[in-house]
Structure 1
Amino acid sequence: MELEYFVVDAFTREPFQGAQIAVLPDAGNLSARQMQQISAELKLDETVFLIRYDADDVSLRVFAGSVETSVFGAPLIACGHLLGANRLLELQPGINDLQVSNGVESAQLGLLVANGELQRVQYALQVTPRVDRFVPARSELAAFLSLSVDDLDTADQLRPLLVASPRPYLIVGVRSLTALRQARFDYSSWSLSSAPSMLAQEILLVSTECEDNEANFHARLVGPAIGVSEDPPVGSALAALACWLCEHDHIRQGTYPFGVERGSRLTRHSLLHVEMDNLGREQLPLRVSGNAAVVCRGSILLPTA
């Protein structure tokens, strides 16, 4: 059995940058075990399996290695780009709205078409965050990040918080891009701190110093399950990041567009565009958009039963 797949670089205008996402457009007959095996074999950031799609609805599953994961972030951008740019769907000029679901999560995916070409992919969602202000002391944070206390933002700037939306992240503001890139997770210091008792096992570091002029924040994920030299995609953490920003008094109510970058051009640089409606309510509406590029096309050869 032969299955076609594409590699899509998501959240970038340039090939060989951004998040590396495999997309299989004809995966409706695959079992969960086969999806796990294919994703583990490809060894990319995430693999999207399109179960079914038409002009209104898309059903899919997403795996990172052998673990099924969230559809949000780079997988949705990669999926939307492939559907539009490769003309797997017959799209009309203007915004084409699709409802996307994996059976648990759902989002509205918008494909903007102009002059016969796909111009932009955007998805919309509403999140209901849970925020916990009881986080490790600044000295503990600095220790397990291998930074000095002075490298961390102060409480009146961007204070550390635990935010779940629904996936939990410990979000920590860092004063400079240099410090953010120099941070190294120290498991020994982590195990001696109060952090392991928290729900979050991933730490999102955020700095207002950026490499790209279109970005307002630079973000990086670290944690006990993330390699020291790794800089994984941050798209799934965008909802938590937006909710974290809304918890600060200087972020007033209103609609805020902002850019988030990840990585560097020497490794893999991503640029994610976010718009949030801070209405002071329990739910936070978000819109996330980005560019993408198809860089590879190949086949998976599955053994016959």
Structure 2
Amino acid sequence: MQVPIFTVDAFTNRPFCGNPAAVCLLENDLDEDLHQKIATEMNLSETAFIRKLHPTDDFTKSSRFGLRWFTPANEVPLCGHATLASAAVLFHIKKNPNSVLTFVTLSGELKTRQEKDHIVLDLPLYSTDPQVLQEVEELIKAATGDMIVQDVRYSPDTKKLLVRLSDAYERSVLEELQVSAQRFLSAEKTGKVKGLILTLKGKSNGKEKGHDFYSRYFAPWYGVLEDPVTGSAHAVLSSYWSEQLGKKEMLAFQCSRRGGELKISLHDNGRVEIAGQFAIVLKGNLTL
């Protein structure tokens, strides 16, 4: 059995930057255990599986598909960069002519569209609640050491902890921070955290275009020590920084070693549009 597979670098227009995702096109149903085995074999932060919703569907013509995401260790309920990568494969390799593609997922229906050289994701927007520092103090110390923390929030819907560093720090401080994410597993005592976001206010102002905020994201609970560029984390970050900055249009940068830029637009319907570029770097077939 041959399964078409692609590797797409998301939230960048250059190969070997942004966040790589594997994308599998399933002409037929796949044995359930094979999803995880393939994702473990690919060993990327996510492997996406696009499936037909009806036997008569066609990757080159249909506008609705099923979509699942797997890390090397688990299935996850939402993944932004692998959704962008999936849309890129359908739009640019399969030459799908539809203006909007809809993916049926564990997080509901996600719509994607092309806008010039970007792909725009329509994602749920997740709010955050104030978090008692003492409950997660050991985890935060494992992540930030002796750095000054300005705010701590928790997103109950996504189980992500958001840690905002002091505005006094520059972007380079976040980029150069040495993090041993494996230590988070023993430092997290509450049992409720499954992802940790470090974030920092940007230096954007009216005179000069810049980034409104920066971030890094860690999810060792899902087998991902550091994710290069994370759409799902920005569904949380967008809510937080929109509230802090009083803005609905923002430009963000995730400061991993590979790095990636995200254009953000909040809507009043509780959704957020996150746009990014992509680079398709591999085309092939899995032999099963």
Percent sequence identity over matched residues? 21
The answer to whether the 8 A contact 1:70-1:236 is kept is no
Partner of 2:134, secondary structure, is coil
Residue of structure 1 equivalent to 2:163:
172
| Deviation readout 1:53-78 (Å, 9 max, x if unpaired) | 54421212111124111343101110
Within 2, Cα distance between the matches of 1:86 and 1:201? 34
Between the two proteins, the alignment pairs up a number of residues equal to 272
Give TM-score, length-normalised by structure 2: 0.81
Unpaired runs of 5+ residues, structure 2, are 53-58, 204-208
Structure 1 residue 69 corresponds to structure 2 residue 89 = no
Deviations 1:274-298 (A, max 9, x none): 1124x5xxx6321011111111112
Name which of structure 1's ranges 128-137 and 20-29 shifts more when overlaid on structure 2: 128-137
> C-alpha offsets along residues 200-253 of structure 1, whole Å, 9 cap, x if unaligned?
23220012358xx753322112365488974544222111111222453xx33x
Q: What does 1:148-187 align with in structure 2 at a 5 Å threshold? A: 148=146, 151-154=147-150, 159-164=151-156, 166-174=157-165, 175-180=169-174, 181-185=176-180
Which structure is larger by alpha-carbon Rg, 1 or 2?
A: 1
* Among 272, 279, 284, the residue aligned to 1:293: 279
- TM-score in terms of structure 1 length: 0.77
CA distance, structure 2, for counterparts of residue 172 and residue 120 of structure 1:
29
Asked if the contact 2:18/2:228 (under 8 Å) is kept, the reply is: no
Q: 1:271 and 2:266 equivalent?
A: no
One of 198, 209, 212 as aligned partner of 1:205? 198
User: Residues 74 and 222 of structure 2 are in contact (CA less than 8 Å); yes or no, is this contact kept in structure 1?
Assistant: no
1:31 aligned residue: 31
Q: Where does 1:16-27 land on structure 2 (aligned, <5 Å)?
A: 16-27=16-27
Please provide the CA RMSD for this pair: 3.0
**1:174-253 equivalent positions in 2, closer than 5 A:** 174=165, 175-180=169-174, 181-185=176-180, 196-197=189-190, 199-208=192-201, 215-222=211-218, 225=221, 230-248=226-244, 251-252=245-246
Distance 1:202 1:187 in 2: 12
Counterpart AA for 1:287? E
Query: Whole-Å Cα distance in 2 between the matches of residues 208 and 55 of structure 1?
Result: 41
